[in-house]
Structure 1
Amino acid sequence: MKHRTMSVATALAAAALLLTSCSSDSDPEDKIKGAEQEVSSDSPSPTASPSASAKVADFGLPDDIKVEIESNTTGNKAKDQILKEQAEAIMARQRLYVDLDPNSRYLTRYYAGEARDFYVADIKKSKSEGRTITGTYRYYDRKVEQNTDDRAIVTYCEDRSKAFAKDIESGKIQKTEPSPEDFIRNTATLRKTEHNTWLVQSFRGKTSAKECR
């Protein structure tokens, strides 16, 4: 079975999540290692118009994990900052499943509230089951649907047709055949901290999304 961000049931339950306050905002001086480095992929999404790849921090992912994120920049400074930090949150998500550390700095820097709670629980589950991730993750058609001074909603497509779970001890990859369920339409709610950084507060995903194929 493919490793997904959340089950369909969990995704539906998360649809109505509300923003809440969080006391553990990260200080911008507490930087993630490699955050000054920029990396990009030259592979555009075949399901959307070609777009430059997002320039994000180097999160030190192993060679068997590839992450392709379309830039989808707008020319609007505020929206582009939201998209940049949302792209970094995507990269941080991959690193979480490599480290399997529920106290990870990547988690506290990029996630809060219900989203953070979900990943803490899922990371613990993955660790207990002895599984991690491998393969290629693609993210495209990213749009800032709503934004105010301290709140934003970003929608984006996700392709996991070449992403799989991997047994940590044996290294065996749990490959599955590509299916419509590999294409997911995500909606993420972000909030701005007092340090002018953006955290993913909640998210939901719709599998078998026709608009993402």
Structure 2
Amino acid sequence: MVPRRLPLAVALTASAALLLTACGSGDDKNGDKAAGAGKQGGNTASPNSSATKNASAGLPDFELPDDIKVDIEPSTTGDKAKDQILREQAEGLLARQRIFVDLDPTSGYLTRYYNGEARAFYVSEIKKAKADGRTITGTYRYYDRKVTQKSDDRAVVTYCEDQSKAFAKDIKTEKIKRTEPSPEDYTLITAVLRKTDHGTWLVQSFRGEESATECR
């Protein structure tokens, strides 16, 4: 059955098993929200109001289709290093939606912002979405973003995700699989990022807690 929303899947970190929140398959309780396909860099994609809003907050325009909006709450701390982490983590959230539009496992959007188990997980989910003929539509909202741990080359960022207005869409028919909002649409996510030799931050792994009261 087609999943209702983006489920939790398991990935391993160096010290423990973490639950990953992402597009993919799941039981019917988790419903019809899933990842999708398209052509990377295609001319059909155009900026939308959400992309413009995020660009005005200092984020690049990832040229998502008009029916996909990503609303990322700005977050600054006054600490230059932490603000860089939050900015690049926000860019990674935009990239996450773009890779499920492009469905290219070698996409530069994926390799720039994800590594390790997180990248491997998305590569797997991209292939599943392409095989199933699924794409995404609707609004993805991210808020309450905080750097909770930081060292020279490792950081932990927590944030909330709201998928109450995000849905799966059939690529061929463009039929949207709408679902009613539920507590499962609100997820508290903990992401582990690592700093590269070039000074940029990549997501290595992340876990999600569905129906999080902190996010509602």
Matched, 1:98 2:94: no
Separation (CA, whole Å) in 1 of partners of 2:57 and 2:203: 18
Give the TM-score normalised by structure 1: 0.80
TM-score (norm 2): 0.79
Partner of 2:4: 2
Q: 1:111 aligned to 111, 114, 117, which one?
A: 114
**Runs of 5+ in structure 2 lacking a partner?**
16-40, 42-50
> 1:41 offset after TM fit, Å?
5.2
2:14 to 18, 21, 30: 18
Q: Where do 4+ consecutive residues of structure 1 move more than 3 Å?
A: none
CA contact (8 A) 2:142 2:161 kept: yes
Instruction: For residues 138-168 of structure 1, give each alpha carbon's deviation from its aligned partner in whole angstroms, at most 9, with x where no partner exists.
Output: 0000000001111000000000000001100
From the two aligned structures, give the one with the greater strand fraction.
Answer: 2
Q: Which runs of 5+ in 1 are unaligned?
A: 20-32, 43-52
The equivalent residue for 2:52 is 39
2:62 corresponds to: 59
The correspondence for 2:179, drawn from 173, 176, 181, is 176
Give the superposed CA RMSD: 1.8
**What does the per-residue CA deviation read over 1:181-204, in whole Å, with 9 as the maximum and x for residues that have no partner?**
000000000000001011000001
Shift, 1:17, TM fit: 1.2
Does 2:153 align with 1:150? yes
Query: Identical aligned pairs, as a percentage?
Result: 66
Deviation at 1:59, TM superposition (A): 0.3
Number of aligned residue pairs: give it: 180
